[in-house]
């Protein structure tokens, strides 16, 4: 498909160019907002405090937010509260008959669930914002540094309101990109944040090589590993299981009876980048709260010591963190696949149009067969996602390589890039067909 698309066709696709410019402008706004700090903070003291906590979970969160967390900007929390609220609503929909009935109402039900997701986003952002504000008030007190330079109670109120406004604006911006731009808006915002950190990550690696803390052979090995991971991700994202679909024989123009054949493509990774994003979101939200809350109540009670111990065991790269992350990826891989693909509905559609799988009876037997095939390939997809997200980051952590754009980040960047390029090609192809139809109509009018 891409081979048949030229630059001249791209120049003529005015609607596609408008969508691309809108997407680019929205991402620029996102990057500008990441540099707008919260009111009442001393940026120099804040930077000094964050430098003392490098290598922890905040670095991983900071990668997803595009550096907004270390600058404590209006969008320091990024779209993670929105993603967490979406997870909660989707899980509740599968467990609650009331929400399941709302989901079946079609467009009106989808709007209701989206509204519930927005309410959940506000609540989660307020909770995280409050604990961040409380933690920043006492952070660095032992070292004689004060990041908060205004009244504490005023700072808490302004921080919560500012973070809620920033997160809700990002959520709205992502929805606008999805409807008026190219690609999935929320995924593009996450990818833009990750890509913005790539120069810093590479600079850290090369600086470590210059100072001698990393050997040149190790740096070359990291670069080879990254290139190999990108190639492997592209291969697995294109891999699919094609189920043969056969339709009843139909009479052709020459009077012959011919059976139509088609294929039902089932991707190895049906859930795309959703499992690692969901798993990261669920892990990062409580860890961020405990990271800042622990600083506030450390030494004051047994709860402070408990929170600090939990943070130590759940640091990025520790075995417990890896185990919980792997479990989250596997769970959401199966859960989201079940959400986006319904074997019963697919089997009913095939039966309605006369299609069937050779050797499989239409109806429930077909649904069971599709569920069996999908479960098997989802096991492979879950193993692939777990390997990509955990193994490189575990190796980086063991080798003490300051390269925080590990497997999860590369997976998101490559996947979102593939999806965006595919949508661009689809728009170009639709424009090409539209031009052909217009030419055919003009020729038909001239003959008359």
**Which CATH architecture does the domain made up of 2-447 adopt?**
Orthogonal Bundle (1.10)
pLDDT grade for 13, boundaries at 50, 70 and 90: confident
Residue 1 has pLDDT above 50, yes or no: no
Hey, CA dihedral for 102, 89, 236, 375, is it positive or negative? negative
Give the integer Cα–Cα distance in Å for 254 and 256. Answer: 6
Q: Give 2's DSSP letter.
A: G
Give the integer Cα–Cα distance in Å for 78 and 224. Answer: 31
**Global pTM?**
0.81
Lowest mean pLDDT: which of 56-65, 123-132, 161-170, 172-181?
56-65
Going from the C-alpha of 433 to that of each of 13, 113, 440, 444, the distances in angstroms are 12, 36, 11, 16
Task: Write the pLDDT tens digit of every residue in 306-331.
Answer: 666 766 777 766 788 888 889 999 99
Task: Write the pLDDT tens digit of every residue in 193-246.
Answer: 888 888 877 887 788 778 877 788 888 888 888 888 889 999 998 888 888 888
pLDDT grade for 296, boundaries at 50, 70 and 90: low
Going from the C-alpha of 169 to that of each of 20, 33, 136, 175, 310, the distances in angstroms are 20, 10, 23, 10, 32
- Mean pLDDT value of segment 389-408: 70
Domain ranges of the chain: 2-447
Lowest mean pLDDT: which of 116-120, 261-265, 300-304?
300-304
pLDDT grade for 386, boundaries at 50, 70 and 90: very high
Looking at residue 204, its pLDDT comes to 78
């Amino acid at each position: 498909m891409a081979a048949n698309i030229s630059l001249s066709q791209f120049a003529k696709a005015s609607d596609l160019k408008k969508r691309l410019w809108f997407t680019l402008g929205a991402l620029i706004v996102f990057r500008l907002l990441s540099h707008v700090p919260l009111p009442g903070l001393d940026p120099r003291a804040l930077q000094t405090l964050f430098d003392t906590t490098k290598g922890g979970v905040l670095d991983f969160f900071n990668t997803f937010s595009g550096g907004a967390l270390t600058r404590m900007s209006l969008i320091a929390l990024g779209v993670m509260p929105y993603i967490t609220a979406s997870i909660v609503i989707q899980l509740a929909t599968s467990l609650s008959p009331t929400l399941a009935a709302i989901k079946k109402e079609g467009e009106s039900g989808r709007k209701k669930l989206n509204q519930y997701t927005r309410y959940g986003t506000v609540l989660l952002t307020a909770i995280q914002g409050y604990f961040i504000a409380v933690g920043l008030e006492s952070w660095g007190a032992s070292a004689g540094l004060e990041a908060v330079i205004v009244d504490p109670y005023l700072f808490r109120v302004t921080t919560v309101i500012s973070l809620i406004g920033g997160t809700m604006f990002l959520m709205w911006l992502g929805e606008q990109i999805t409807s008026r731009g190219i690609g999935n808006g929320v995924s593009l915002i996450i990818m833009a944040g990750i890509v913005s950190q790539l120069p810093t990550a590479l600079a850290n690696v090369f600086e470590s090589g210059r100072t001698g803390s990393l050997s040149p052979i190790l740096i070359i090995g990291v670069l080879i590993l990254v290139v190999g991971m990108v190639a492997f991700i592209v291969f697995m994202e294109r891999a699919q299981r094609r189920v043969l679909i056969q339709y009843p024989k139909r009479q052709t123009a020459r009077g012959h009876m011919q059976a139509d054949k088609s294929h039902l493509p089932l991707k190895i990774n049906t859930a795309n980048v959703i499992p690692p994003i969901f798993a990261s979101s669920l892990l990062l939200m409580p860890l961020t709260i405990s990271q800042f809350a622990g600083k506030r109540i450390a030494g004051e009670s047994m709860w402070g010591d408990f929170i600090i111990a939990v943070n130590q065991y759940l640091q990025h790269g520790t075995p417990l963190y890896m185990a919980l992350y792997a479990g989250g990826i596997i769970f959401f891989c199966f859960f989201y696949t079940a959400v986006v693909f319904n074997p019963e509905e697919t089997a009913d559609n095939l039966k309605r149009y006369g299609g069937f799988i050779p050797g499989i009876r239409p109806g429930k037997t077909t649904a069971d067969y599709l569920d069996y095939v999908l479960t098997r390939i989802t096991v492979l997809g879950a193993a692939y996602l777990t390997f990509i997200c955990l193994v490189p980051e575990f190796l980086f952590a063991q080798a003490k390589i300051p390269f925080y754009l590990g497997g999860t980040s590369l997976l998101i960047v490559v996947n979102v890039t593939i999806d965006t390029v595919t949508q661009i090609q689809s728009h170009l192809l639709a424009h090409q067909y539209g031009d052909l139809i217009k030419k055919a109509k003009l020729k038909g009018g001239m003959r008359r």
